[in-house]
Amino acid sequence: MSASLQLGSHKRLMVFSGRSNQPLAGAIADLLDIELGKVTLKTFSSGEVYSRFDESIRGADVFIIQPMCANPDTGMNANDALIELMVMVDAAVGASAHRVIAVTPWYGYSRQDKKSAPREPISARMVARALEVTGVDRVLTMDLHAGQLQGFFSIPVDHMTALGILGDYFASLDDDLVIVAPDAGRVKLNKQFASQIGAGLAILDKERPQQQVAEINTVIGDVRGKTAIVIDDIIDTAGTLCAAGEALNRAGARRVFAAATHGVFSGRAFENLATSPFERVVVTDTIPLRAGAPSNIDVLSCAPLLADSIRRIFTDDSVSAVFGGKNHTF
């Protein structure tokens, strides 16, 4: 007598997109050779978000692609994206989906991962708790700002990294390369990247006198006459990044590049980068690039990586095998 009852293979994979990054969702669906699921999404005049799946999702593995980022083209801000994700998850749970997986390559509030002063929230933990309570079964994300964010969840978190994508871009540079960590907290990530492309390593001595303000005083390591590549997880206002580029120029770097997984590009980021010393600034499409970007920004697609990961989650194969287990860049 069998210890289980087999009803045949009826697993279904369905992919739906919120409004924060529909082009990325479309690219993922194309790579999976399926169409995006039909869903009605709108914002009422009161500002409240509405969601309804327009087809049956009963018993399906539902993957909801929604980075927690703003998208001016659809009128979404970061908070709208988070609420819309939660509303879609709640609708999927209520519609009897078998599993609901949040595919949020840019995890919002990720920089608020600890208390830096009394009476501050740990907002990244709050977001994790909210997603769990809403009914998410699993989270697929990319290049979290800090390792402890995975510990905020009691459900599986699949953590992807764009190091391979960025490494392939710079591997063609036939120069004397040096990878530059923007601060001590990014040394491990930059060391892995340097080993990947066979480059040297340098570190910037950075201090933050206040939020979103950084001062760079010293370049630790030899960059004179070399091509320096600053690698980080996020580019936001780009003020810190531009200060890093200027410090590298003063230290004698011959060429200066920058790369990051997430191009937030808020505030005066485009103006800062347009006048920066960076030859190219490379990001992925976890966050859609808004209009007005300067010509020195290149965008690489993370859709193949995410599509492969989604397929592996659906078929219960190893996700860490994509990186040989080396996707913990903290």
Our measurement of the distance from residue 27's CA atom to the centroid of its chain's CA atoms, rounded to an integer in Å, reads 16
Alpha helices, DSSP H only, in 275-319? Answer: 303-314
pLDDT computed for residue 325 by the predictor: 61
306: nearest Cα among 78, 117, 24: 24
Among 115, 206, 226, 326, which one carries the catalytic annotation? 206
Characterise 36 by phi-psi region: left (phi > 0), alpha (psi -120 to 50), beta (else). Answer: beta
CA gap 259, 297 in Å, rounded: 9
Q: What is the pTM of this model?
A: 0.92
Tokens 């169409």 belong to 35
Q: 231 pairs with which residues across the strands?
A: 259
pLDDT in tens, the chain (330 residues): 556 555 656 789 999 999 999 999 999 999 999 999 999 999 999 999 999 999 999 999 999 999 999 999 999 999 999 999 999 999 999 999 999 999 999 999 999 999 989 999 999 999 999 999 999 999 999 999 988 899 999 999 999 999 999 999 998 887 789 999 988 778 888 898 898 888 999 999 876 656 556 667 788 999 999 999 999 999 999 988 999 999 999 999 999 999 999 999 999 999 999 999 999 999 999 999 999 999 999 999 999 999 999 999 999 999 988 876 665 555
Which residues are CB-neighbours of 56 under 8 A, at least 6 positions away? 95
Q: Both tokens of residue 164?
A: 């391979």
Going through 82-172 in order, the beta strands assigned E by DSSP cover: 99-103, 138-142, 157-160
pLDDT at 18: 98
Residue 5: the pLDDT is 56
Q: Which residue has the tokens 């929604």?
A: 66
| Residue 188 is among the residues annotated as catalytic for this protein | no
Give the Cβ contact number of residue 228 at 10 Å.
Answer: 31
User: What are residue 204's phi and psi, to 5 degrees?
Assistant: -95, 135
Report the distance separating Cα 151 and Cα 159, nearest Å: 12
